[in-house]
Structures are given as structure tokens and as C-alpha cells.
Amino acid sequence: MMNKVTVCVLSLLLSSAVTANGELPAGADAVVNQYFDALRAGDTQQIRRLLHPHMQRKLQNRLAHPGYGAELVKDNVDMTFTVYAHELLESGMYCVDYLGSDGNASIRKRLYISRAAAGEAAGFRIVEEQVLP
């Protein structure tokens, strides 16, 4: 059985460049950067706006917890986020790998980003986030 990591790696091997110049579309790039800013600021409302409805439901209790914003600030205020890989999957979703580092520790994560569905506000939404080995 293939997992999302395997699918992303296979997609990297099989698909063409993300865009003609190899960059994420402006809307997807903006969502990634807004997400990083919201993590540093502990802005749970902004995070909620950036998430696909599936992720909003998945994180509903955490995002609604009164102390979660302060926890995000504590964990991310000194964090530097660096996108080091991205790819357009055959599904039309973007796979974005990033490194978060605060000088003492680092973590690698992957965001899956898709275009907003019909009836939602225009733009892109974060569908999933995974910790990478």
C-alpha cells in the first residue's frame, strides 16, 4: 500500500515542473507564507481561514482551545521556515516540504495544498500537514 509520502515521491519522478519557472503559483505561495506568519503570531483565526474544511474539522478542538494561540507563539516565535521542495501532484494538489528551525532544534514537514472548492472563497487551502522523518 502506498502512503502520501510515496505518492509525493513518485509524483516528483513522474510529473513535470510545477510552473514554467519552477515556482509555486502566487496563491499557493501566499498561503504557505501566511501560514508561517500565523504560526509565529499564534493567530488561530488566520490558521482556520487557511485550512481546507476537512482540516478545520480535524483541528477544530485544538484551534478553539483558549491557550492554543499562546502555545503556538511559544513554539514558533523564533522559528525560521524554509521551503526546500514543492511539486504539483497529478491530483492537482501541491506538495510543499519545509524545514522549521529555531537554532536549537528543527523539524521537517509537508503541506498538501489544493485550490479552494467551488462555493468556497477563491484561492488555495491547506488540506493536510505531515511531519517528515
Domain of residue 41 covers 4-131
pLDDT in tens, 61-96: 999 999 999 999 999 999 999 999 999 999 999 999
Cell numbers describing residue 30: 501566499
Winning range, highest mean pLDDT, from 7-11, 22-26, 74-78: 74-78
CATH code, domain with 105: 3.10.450
SS3 of 68-115: HHHHHHHHHCCCEEEEEEEEECCCCCEEEEEEEECCCCEEEEEEEEEE
Signed CA dihedral, 19, 99, 82, 130: sign only: positive
* pTM of the entire predicted model: 0.80
Number of domains in the chain: 1
pLDDT in tens, 25-65: 999 999 999 999 999 999 999 999 999 999 999 999 999 99
Nearest to 124 by CA among 108, 113, 112: 113
